[in-house]
Structures are given as C-alpha cells and as structure tokens.
Amino acid sequence: MTTLHSSLPLLPSSSSSSSSSSQSSSSSSFSLPNMPLIPPKPNKSLLHKHPLYAPTQSNLSLQIKEKIVCLEIMGIDSGKALAKNPSLHTTTLDSIQSTISFLRSKGIQQKDLKKIFGMCPKILTSDIAADLIPIFDFLAQDLQVPFHNLRKVINKCPRLLASSARDQLKPALFYLQRLGFRNLESLAENDAVLLVSSVEKTLIPKLRFLEERLEVSKEEAVGMVVRCPSLFTFSIENNLKPKLEYLVGEMERKVEEVKEFPQYFAFSLEKRIKPRHLEIVKRGLGKEMGLPLMLISTDHEFTQLINPNQ
C-alpha cells in the first residue's frame, strides 16, 4: 500500500524493531502542530468498518484517506465533516495545515479544534485572507475583543469563524447596537450567538412576535430583549409561544408579568414552570407568588416558600 502523505508524521507499527523505529522517526516531519504521530498505514480492519470505506468505495484516493485519518486523529467525525463540507474532498492537507496554524497564531489551542471543526467543518476549507482574517479584524476592531479573550469568545461560539464578517457579523452588530446593545464585552462573551443570527429571518421576527403577542410597543419589546438577550435565541414555536400560552391559559396570569420579567422564557416549561405552578395551585396560593420568586428560587427555597411552617 502506498505510504501516507510525506508531510504527515509517521509512526512504525508496534512489531517493528527498535532500529527501524529510529529510522522511521528521523525521516518524517510534522505538518500539523502538536498532532499525534500517524501510523504509515491505516488499519484495514478498522477502515473497512468505516462508512467511507465501504466496498463500493474501495478506490478512494490516497489524499482522501489521509484527510480522514487527520480528521479522526483530531477527534472529528470525518464522515459528518465530509458530508457537511464537500469542499474537503478537494482541499489539500497543506491547506488544512495552514488553517490550523493560522488559528493557533490567534490563540486557539490544539484541544479546541475538535469542538470548533466538529461544529463547523466549513472552517477547515476557509480562505485565510478572504474569510478568516476579516473575521478576526471584526472581533478585534468592531467588537473590541482583546487578543487574550479571542479563544474564549470563539470557543463559546465557533460559528463566528464560519460567518462572513461583511455580510453577517457587521450587519448583525449594527442592528443590535441600534436596538440598544451597548456592552460589547458582554455581547462578545455571552451573546455572540446573536451576531451569527440572521437579522431578517431570526431577530426581527422574534421582536415582532413580542410586540404582537404581548401587545407592547416596539420600544417596550426592545427594552425586554436588551434586558434579556436570550429572548433572541429562543424558538418562537418551541419556546416563546407555548410558554406564553401556558402563562395565560393554565396559569391565568396577565402578559404584563412577563413584560416586567422576560426571564420567564428562559426557564424550562416542563421541568420548572409547570411543576412549580402545580405545587402553588395545590396549596391554594393562586397568583399570590410572583413569577420571579416562583422561578428564580432554588428547590430548597421554593419548598420553604410553599411550606412556611416546615
């Protein structure tokens, strides 16, 4: 079988003698920073079990096999990565190496790559000059993220590296700032997911939902999302709508309560809101307990609240 790409580190098999082991290690070079050594031949028994090594695809090119090995060593599901990013079939190992080296020059560590590339395999084939550099410029200049915080911000939201700085990140930041988001540090470290959300398809529709269903002005709706940015991350159909319907229908409370306490939508309907509401009803407390007290209190505190004599 042909040996792997010459730029990849080689490791002799366990059955090799110590002399041949020294020759192998001295004749190879590292291409991926701090990557574990790669065996010169993929294990055939393992490869045949891999979906990409089905008998019908036995003629996979050596280059593809090398890339599969590299992805798997980084802890990335190569099958999913190749399916989500078909460009991986044609990109070179040198190009992947360059991308990794560039990210590491920005403070990204080797152990971060599994999560980053696993979530967004598109990054593996990004053009450094056209795609990645503008993103890091945006983070440093527009979002004012200091270099030592880049790793933290990117690990929290790897999708930042798969987004267009010009077409996605900058328009989203501009929109959020117009709404009143002034704390850039908080936006970067806690709510960066808003920057990779579509303004037209995600942010605006959710703001309109709050306006219409809560019967509030746009200014009031904006005030709610500025106080509770996670409102922009919740699904209308799976979160906002059912929780609002439960509040009005089952709990028989007025929507004014969530205007004052928009964090209501951040609590689980099945695990927090319903059980605690049922406990309150069971003890005849009705609507005496406000939403903040009902939901924010710990389980022990809540028990004390509904059983004051215990």
Q: Using one digit for the tens of pLDDT, what is the confidence trace for 130-150?
A: 999 999 999 999 999 999 999
Residue 242 in this model has a pLDDT that exceeds 90: yes
pLDDT digit string (tens) for 185-211? 999 999 999 999 999 999 999 999 999
Q: Residue 11: what pLDDT?
A: 28
Residue 224 in this model has a pLDDT that exceeds 60: yes
Q: Residue 8: what pLDDT?
A: 37
Residue 47 in this model has a pLDDT that exceeds 90: no
- What is the mean pLDDT of the segment spanning 153-162? 97
SS3 of residue 249 by DSSP: helix
Residue 287 in this model has a pLDDT that exceeds 90: no
For 294, list phi and psi in degrees, rounded to 5: -65, -40
- What is the mean pLDDT of the segment spanning 209-217? 93
Interior angle at CA 301, CA 298 and CA 304, nearest 5: 150
Arithmetic mean of pLDDT over the chain: 83
Residue 288 in this model has a pLDDT that exceeds 80: no
> Do residues 107 and 147 lie in contact, with contact meaning Cβ atoms separated by under 8 Å?
yes
SS3 of residue 41 by DSSP: coil
- What is the mean pLDDT of the segment spanning 170-184? 96
The rounded Cα 10 to chain-centroid distance in angstroms is 33
Domains of the chain by residue range: 62-126, 128-195
Residue 36 in this model has a pLDDT that exceeds 80: no
> Do residues 70 and 96 lie in contact, with contact meaning Cβ atoms separated by under 8 Å?
yes
The band of 310, judged by pLDDT with boundaries at 50, 70 and 90, is low
**Which of these ranges, 8-17, 54-63, 69-78, 284-293, has the smallest mean pLDDT?**
8-17
Q: Residue 147: what pLDDT?
A: 97
**DSSP structural state of residue 37:** P
The rounded Cα 186 to chain-centroid distance in angstroms is 17
98 vs 56, which has greater pLDDT?
98
> Do residues 172 and 188 lie in contact, with contact meaning Cβ atoms separated by under 8 Å?
no
15 vs 252, which has greater pLDDT?
252
Q: Residue 201: what pLDDT?
A: 95
pTM: 0.74
